[in-house]
Structure 1
């Protein structure tokens, strides 16, 4: 199959802008809880009426400070309540928020604010204020800088007390669906970030389509209010789409600024969301923590049997959904029920106890991990998309999930596989182009089709599998082409491996650079009664190297000998964003990694 279109589920053209939903909900159900806000460690409720009042007050303040229709305002912050306030307040007056990752360097900040011609900037803390301050002399259009931790919201609300509410609503009524909602800059894995122009219509179509088609996710059980804890960065399009969809669907939305398990897990337990949206990393961490706990308690055998049972149970249900099997047998159902209380319930408890559905994107999730969570009672809908497609372009549909794929086109969308295997997308979710860069726009937008740069294939049922990126294909000196993603993912699935990057361009064979998962290593050492060692000594440990080699051997079973990993090197340091080796969305900067570790790469090819 080379192309598939899925009929739309959203009827009629969108009207107005994104801020309209806030005020509509306030009129229809002012007492309904729509947000959760954490203050002094305690979660409190925010109603529709309260949200509309706060958005209106902030919008008045922005007008009082000179922000006008069409102005761009940068937001440089972690995911927090105030970001959502600023988004909807800016949208209410026809302005355009420009997200900036809080970890961005001074030069990255300068480029984004300069290229987007921002007239103002919101930062979270003093460090970010200093980052902006260090380049402000090269930003002639930047007139105002507000700091959240220094009372920016309260100050702006005071500034706007004399502004009439009608002025805000006149601005809001002038916003049309084709107006620019935001400019989101790409991660810049292969060069300078480009500003993706996304309209109000893009977000409304995307959010409303997801809510309508994946209704089971955005609804809750009788007596429960649907809710989600957003821990994705709001600087990323995925997090932004979640924010918009939650507000439009009246789903209670909470914000969590720290992705680390020590911070995230307690808030999941306190907030108790009914669904979560994350990246595979989150689900990998939950699984790894559960297995380490079982091993510490001497229950490794039962845990691994529970995992196997969950995978087989989910596979049997998958086969039934596609008419290739009868579903779980009576014996398998009994086995599955046995592990419900012992294992599966505890895994769900780590996500807050009420989660039954999740969505995953950003990178590939292993088929086995997805099957395990499904068998453990958490259905994970994996999808695929880009900033240029306003988040999800494909996703696995309810009742017909194929784990290991990223599903079918979202309703109203089309996926086409070009002759060279490149994925092309079409639909109302596709962006209008790159800001100030018509040449780059023409390179990816062709008669309404978005050429993604990703490679994939469609199966007979129209499900998409991502096989790699055109720019990441490795070609050995023997002429063998290798897509690194699947091999890297398989190596990373080992509990001792954190990151993996393949090398081999113009070289005789494929090799790999690996980093260690230090939590997994600490547990592995403790279970063997061995003392903790510095990272520099760990990478030389023969037993640890032998264990890591198993992950490489397992990955090699996926490919032919000519495509296999022939050598690897375990590194003492992580690939981090601070070192310039990861993008803010945790994607590998392959060229930078090869440059930094040129000596180690060369050693992999010395016989």
Structure 2
């Protein structure tokens, strides 16, 4: 077994609310949270006052220590206030994705035993009620609450919260079976967030240019979004909260962020938006230039132009997590002065395990362990984790399952390798490695990442388990396909030869990454898209491979019959 650990860590024995309280005392006038690009701004002191008022109201409403509070809504100041107030009084946040199905919501409420409920909209409240919730508090209403709890009583509740108390039960959007409720403690969340701040230097706090600024559009229903929120509060970032990724691109020139935290899907969307600002073949030139910069073969210079303006003019780094990122996307953004800091983690580690550091960012890795975390590679290649960020276990129906082995290692299910400097490279996932009938092991993710970069491709899945060769199903971006048909005169037909010829370019590009035995031999364009609502994606937008294969079994069989 090989392993690498980073020992000097930030530790904390109090609850997460002490982060808010401490910032209010140290920098009361500093802006902490903002509603969108130009909405309400909360200083550290004002944020603390709002959290205390809401925490008092929750106590008055009967929220007890350990009560689970289910919260459904998009990212925003109101979500953050509910989050912080629940944690402040020793209750437990149960985040619920707005894109969750009715069955998923019912499972979460039942399995968690939630006793209190908050929702962004009346529609969200109705979905919680249909799933078994009693009284549901609306975000807008809750944000104005301030009940008459005495300061001593509130302080007694807030100071009684300790690091090892439960903070959240986050339901992992597993690609098979019902989601498991993962317990995360105040210690888990602090270790992940604070040591990410420590690991990345001045990025969260700012430098001689002033306070760090970010636009936070990750869902607070996901642990990645939660960890980034607390990292920003700990680091002193001015954080503009946005409802979702689609709202991000239009506001970047207004917010002018210095860094972002995103998933690869969002970076791919920004890259596609930037294409329209470049001349013909400008994207390929940018990728080539950017990769040369990242490999130290070219001077980055001082980038200017419309793409830099699209990004806000000050954006230098993006923490990218949640899935793999195609190297060409990292290269594309590097050409415009933006470095992608790949990171790695999972719900069971409160997100952060490894993060690339701005000063030592290494291409095609997910960085080195954050302080206090040790990464090991088992003899079979599986990535193992130890650290204060690792969950104590699962809740409810999964309470009898343990993610740890007898030696205390968390088994991630991911396959990876550590280089001599401790940088981790993820090479595949044990459950997602395809093994062809000829015994060839194929990692589908790099092929899928590259295929999705084509403008016409909305989503895709690579197949081949137990089969003689590798195939792919593609879905189309409806708007871009419509524009493409207008430009080319192609028919509104997924089988149009011109469409297949265009998509073959994407397939050939993906195949350039792998050997012939791993390459895609056939593909089909299918109706519709892979969506959460259709049960084909998890809430965090991962492919539900079995469900997709069952849905499109006829198309899959047709592909393999074509080469018999």
- TM-score computed with the length of structure 1 as normaliser: 0.88
Using a 3 Å threshold, how does the CA distance of structure 1 residues 378 and 483 change in structure 2: closer, same or farther? same
1:530 matched to 2:488? The reply is yes
Using a 3 Å threshold, how does the CA distance of structure 1 residues 515 and 438 change in structure 2: closer, same or farther? closer
Q: 1:524 Cα shift? A: 4.1
Describe how 1:55-454 pairs up with structure 2 within 5 A.
55-136=51-132, 143-149=134-140, 151-154=141-144, 156-157=145-146, 160=147, 162-260=148-246, 263-294=247-278, 299-302=279-282, 304-316=284-296, 328=298, 333=299, 337=301, 340-341=303-304, 345-437=305-397, 441-442=401-402, 444-454=404-414
In the alignment, the residues of structure 1 paired with residue 138 and residue 351 of structure 2 have an alpha-carbon distance, to the nearest angstrom, of 28
1:550 matched to 2:505? The reply is yes
Does 464-473 or 77-86 show the bigger shift? 464-473
- In the alignment of these two chains, the number of paired residues is 562
Q: 1:314 Cα shift? A: 2.4
Contact 1:92–1:169 (8 Å) recurs in 2: no
**What does residue 550 of structure 2 align with?**
595
Contact 1:383–1:392 (8 Å) recurs in 2: yes
Q: 1:269 Cα shift? A: 2.1
**What does residue 3 of structure 1 align with?**
2
**What does residue 321 of structure 1 align with?**
none
Q: Deviations over 1:94-114 (max 9, x none)?
A: 111110001212221111111
**What does residue 34 of structure 1 align with?**
32
In the alignment, the residues of structure 2 paired with residue 427 and residue 438 of structure 1 have an alpha-carbon distance, to the nearest angstrom, of 22
Structure 1 residue matching 2:303: 3-state secondary structure: helix
In the alignment, the residues of structure 2 paired with residue 496 and residue 310 of structure 1 have an alpha-carbon distance, to the nearest angstrom, of 24
In the alignment, the residues of structure 2 paired with residue 218 and residue 524 of structure 1 have an alpha-carbon distance, to the nearest angstrom, of 41
In the alignment, the residues of structure 2 paired with residue 462 and residue 392 of structure 1 have an alpha-carbon distance, to the nearest angstrom, of 16
Contact 1:43–1:271 (8 Å) recurs in 2: no
Contact 1:525–1:532 (8 Å) recurs in 2: yes
Q: 1:425 Cα shift? A: 0.9
In the alignment, the residues of structure 2 paired with residue 580 and residue 293 of structure 1 have an alpha-carbon distance, to the nearest angstrom, of 35
Unaligned ranges ≥5, structure 1: 137-141, 317-326
Q: 1:489 aligns with which of 443, 449, 463?
A: 449
Q: 1:453 Cα shift? A: 1.0
Contact 1:314–1:372 (8 Å) recurs in 2: no
Q: 1:508 Cα shift? A: 2.0
Q: Deviations over 1:567-592 (max 9, x none)?
A: 11012321011111011111000001
Contact 1:476–1:505 (8 Å) recurs in 2: yes
In the alignment, the residues of structure 2 paired with residue 439 and residue 121 of structure 1 have an alpha-carbon distance, to the nearest angstrom, of 23
Q: Deviations over 1:182-207 (max 9, x none)?
A: 11000121111001111111111111
In the alignment, the residues of structure 2 paired with residue 562 and residue 33 of structure 1 have an alpha-carbon distance, to the nearest angstrom, of 55
Q: Deviations over 1:60-84 (max 9, x none)?
A: 1101110011111010111111111
**What does residue 23 of structure 2 align with?**
25
Describe how 1:461-472 pairs up with structure 2 within 5 A.
461-472=421-432
Contact 1:56–1:165 (8 Å) recurs in 2: no
Q: 1:236 Cα shift? A: 0.5
In the alignment, the residues of structure 1 paired with residue 209 and residue 286 of structure 2 have an alpha-carbon distance, to the nearest angstrom, of 31
Using a 3 Å threshold, how does the CA distance of structure 1 residues 519 and 224 change in structure 2: closer, same or farther? farther
Structure with greater helix percent: 1
In the alignment, the residues of structure 1 paired with residue 407 and residue 216 of structure 2 have an alpha-carbon distance, to the nearest angstrom, of 35
Structure 2 residue matching 1:580: 3-state secondary structure: coil
Contact 1:272–1:354 (8 Å) recurs in 2: yes
Q: 1:248 Cα shift? A: 1.6
In the alignment, the residues of structure 1 paired with residue 420 and residue 528 of structure 2 have an alpha-carbon distance, to the nearest angstrom, of 43
**What does residue 139 of structure 1 align with?**
none
Unaligned ranges ≥5, structure 2: none
In the alignment, the residues of structure 2 paired with residue 314 and residue 524 of structure 1 have an alpha-carbon distance, to the nearest angstrom, of 33
**What does residue 320 of structure 1 align with?**
none
Q: Deviations over 1:377-428 (max 9, x none)?
A: 1121101110001112112223222222212222221111112221111111
Contact 2:5–2:375 (8 Å) recurs in 1: no
- TM-score computed with the length of structure 2 as normaliser: 0.95
Q: 1:50 Cα shift? A: 0.9
In the alignment, the residues of structure 1 paired with residue 221 and residue 434 of structure 2 have an alpha-carbon distance, to the nearest angstrom, of 31
In the alignment, the residues of structure 2 paired with residue 532 and residue 278 of structure 1 have an alpha-carbon distance, to the nearest angstrom, of 35
CA RMSD of aligned residues (A): 2.1
Q: 1:55 Cα shift? A: 0.5
Q: 1:500 Cα shift? A: 1.7
Contact 1:467–1:485 (8 Å) recurs in 2: no
In the alignment, the residues of structure 2 paired with residue 473 and residue 302 of structure 1 have an alpha-carbon distance, to the nearest angstrom, of 35
Structure 1 residue matching 2:460: 3-state secondary structure: strand
Q: Deviations over 1:428-456 (max 9, x none)?
A: 11111111356763354443211011112
Describe how 1:514-529 pairs up with structure 2 within 5 A.
514-522=474-482, 524-525=484-485, 529=487
Q: Deviations over 1:514-551 (max 9, x none)?
A: 1123454455445xx335864xx1x2221221121122
Does 390-399 or 514-523 show the bigger shift? 514-523
Structure 2 residue matching 1:498: 3-state secondary structure: strand
**What does residue 319 of structure 1 align with?**
none
